Chain A
Amino acid sequence: MSTIKPIPLVLAGLSLLAAILLYAWDGQQTEAVVSRAVVEAGPLLLGALCGLLCERSGVINIGIEGTMLMSAFAGFFIASYSGVIWIGMLGGLAMSAVVGLFLAWTSVTLKQDQIIAGTIINIFALGFTSFYYVQGRTMPGVPRVAIPVLKDLPFVGPMLFDHGILTYSAMFIVVAVHLMLYRTRWGLRTRAIGEHPSAADTVGVNVITLRYRNVILGGLLAGVAGLHLLQSASSFQRGMTNGKGFIALAVMLFGRYRPFGAMGAALLFGLLGGIQAQLQFKQALDIPPQFFGMIPYLLTIIVLAAAGLAARPPAAAGTPYEGA
């Protein structure tokens, strides 16, 4: 388990270096780019952590896209009708837990094919959120907090410490998931049921219960990712996830199933997204907007091809547990 992940680390280092050089060259623009990168990385990171938790427990989750959409939908409309953003966010989380429960039920109890189960979630979410969509509603914004002293730090201050609360929560959650996965009994058990469930079972771990719990927890993380999209867009749009749930899977693979690896990969995606947006905004390059639009998706494919064989999935991912 101690193999270092060289590619993400090197890339993270390179992008940091590039950011510093850019900052020296044009501070304001760099600030805009990096700040946007951090925001764009949020949902990708949270989605990747969802996939990571599920797969580390032995359940493949390709329903992240749909879970994000359902959570954003519930979050938006509950916030809109209640007028309280917190109630909306709780609603979104509850919705994503239900979706997680559904995935757990179909893949752990019913032992249905997990790729198909995730696809059902994605199709259902797209249909459901469009069918019950109501036009012309607004919701109270997700609070934005500039952290007093830290935000005045040069360079990193405005980039890291002046965001919506969900962006902070992403930073917090990645640390928490890392610590829990590698430093607690729960984490050891989680990794065990993803690699060798029957061995874990023999020493008294309840594989079924733990998989349920972790898949629901994963659902909640995808829920936060959906709410994060809502934080940026400040209203719900049909199909607003736009493939981000799948990009998150690429982020997870690129980060080699490790929380901080996922963070590096998410920041890289975010940075490229930020640069793209800035170039487009400044009209620095005379390229049709459709080609800009392709970049994140092409990048995902390239990253997958680069990381593909190196990322070793947990041995039991995708296989229902039949008992010891």
Chain B
Amino acid sequence: MTDTALADPEVGGEDNDSAESSALAAGLRGLRLPTVAVGLAAVAGGILLIVSGENPLSVYWSILDESFLSGSGIGRTLEKATPMVMGGLAVAFAFKAGLFNIGGQGQLLLGAAFAAWVGYNFDLPLVVHLPLAMVVGGLVAALLGAIVGALKAYRGAHEVITTIMFNFVAGNLTDYLVSRDGPWNDPDGGAIARTPRIRDSAIIPTYGDIPIGFFIACGFAFLIWWLLNKTTFGFEIVTTGANKHAARYAGIGVNRIIILTMAISAFLAGIGGAIQSQGLFGRFEASNNAGLGFDGITIALLARTNPIAVIPAAILIGGLNASTTRLQQDFRIEPEVVSILQALILFFVAAPSVVRWLVRWKAIGDEEAIQLTGGWGA
């Protein structure tokens, strides 16, 4: 099991007395590792910043100030966090079945492009148009996910490689669709490869500084939580993830679960792309969504694959990303510093034993380590 909430009561440590762990206590215990991991990543990142001649404290203060301490800052953070919630959900959901979807980038691009196409090409009333564009975007991505799942289930092609390869395929395909020779090109765009503007009836609005798309994403987080915890299908997914052979023995159609899980996972990433087009940019532009792909991995692991915890994790990483422009202006720091911080967070979250060794905190237990695969064939 990968879920912290299900971890055994602690052996030793300071909360022996709360052994009958209430949901709250379990939740708080789940917060411990991610919090320490983020702290350690900040320290390690600080060392890298010192190496490149910056004062880490003023850099971190700038991030906080820019992304979390003003209305427009919070709006920008939530804007960045929205596709990340969806990307994080996509990765977390696939994890539950023991699958690693690192193709969020390609799935997001497909969702973004197809949602934009439905958005500009058709003239429909808002109640139909807006959800239709999102669902079409999601479904095209889901189709890609289903292919990945089928290749895994029937041909043993590992999803880590196929999803990465499909990232490049989807990137090229969407690039072509909106390029000058492509069918969806905006004739007014000049040299910019993009679609025409999405009609108002498919635009996801913004309320003041706050993007409504963020709440749609949160809705999906609760939906996925419900699906995993309250339905038979969710139980089948988690069982498959815990032990494929036992699941098969119990009569679960493992191949069907693998294909459906990948399809739903990709659907979530595709919806993330659709919200980008419909809520943020108002069109699909080839260069707009670069680099969002890997964020989902960090976020899913930071959330310990819990769908609800994906939301705060995405807000944190979204905040980091929302501050890159300011960091570039104030310190001439390249935006990629955020990827370094993310890799560090990922490292510490995925390696509780290092965290325990570094902070000498016994309460961070071994059972919290995420184990995902037992090899290529698994």
Contacts and interface: CB of A to CB of B under 8 A. Distances in A.
A binds B: yes
A34 interface: no
Contact of A317 (B155, B165, B176, B375): B375
B339 A123 contact: yes
Interface of B: 52, 100, 102, 151, 155-158, 160-162, 164-169, 172-173, 175-176, 179, 181-182, 294, 297-298, 301, 334, 336-340, 342-344, 346-347, 350-351, 353-354, 369-378
A309 interface: yes
A301 B151 contact: yes
Contact of B351 (A62, A110, A242, A243): A110
A25 interface: no
24 contacts: A110-B351, A112-B351, A115-B100, A116-B346, A116-B350, A119-B346, A120-B350, A124-B344, A127-B338, A127-B339, A128-B336, A131-B337, A243-B165, A243-B167, A246-B165, A247-B165, A288-B179, A290-B176, A291-B172, A294-B168, A304-B161, A312-B377, A318-B374, A319-B374
Contacts of B166: 297, 301
B172 A112 contact: no
A113 B343 contact: no
A297 B52 contact: no
A246 B375 CA distance: 16
A128 B347 CA distance: 14
Interface in A96-134: 106, 110-117, 119-120, 122-124, 126-128, 130-133
Contacts, number: 156
Interface residues of A, number: 50
B193 to A, nearest CB: 10
A304 B102 contact: no
Contacts of B378: 318
Given A113-B372, A132-B52, A288 B182 contact: yes
Interface string A282-324: 0000001011011001101100111011001100111100000
A127 B342 contact: yes
Contacts of A246: 160-161, 164-165
Given A113-B372, A115-B100, A249-B161, A293 B168 contact: yes
A78 interface: no
A265 interface: no
Interface of A: 60, 62, 106, 110-117, 119-120, 122-124, 126-128, 130-133, 242-243, 246-247, 249-250, 253, 288, 290-291, 293-294, 297-298, 300-301, 304-306, 308-309, 312-313, 316-319
Contacts of B102: 119
Contact of B340 (A128, A249, A300): A128
A249 B176 CA distance: 27
A131 B369 contact: no
Interface centre among B52, B179, B340, B354 (most CB of A within 10 A): B340
A309 B155 contact: yes
A247 B160 CA distance: 11
A131 B373 contact: no
Interface centre among B166, B298, B337, B343 (most CB of A within 10 A): B343
A298 B169 contact: yes
A313 B376 contact: yes
Contacts of A308: 151, 155-158
A301 B157 contact: yes
Nearest to B52: A132
Contacts of B342: 123, 127
A291 B179 CA distance: 12
Given A106-B351, A242-B168, A309-B156, 5 more contacts: A111-B353, A116-B346, A119-B297, A301-B157, A301-B166
B375 A304 contact: no
Contacts of A123: 294, 297-298, 339, 342-343, 346
B373 A115 contact: yes
Contacts of B334: 130-131, 133
B165 A297 contact: yes
B40 to A, nearest CB: 14
Closest 8 A/B residue pairs (Cβ): A127-B339, A318-B375, A124-B343, A290-B176, A308-B156, A130-B336, A304-B157, A127-B340
Contacts of B52: 131-132
Contacts of A309: 155-156
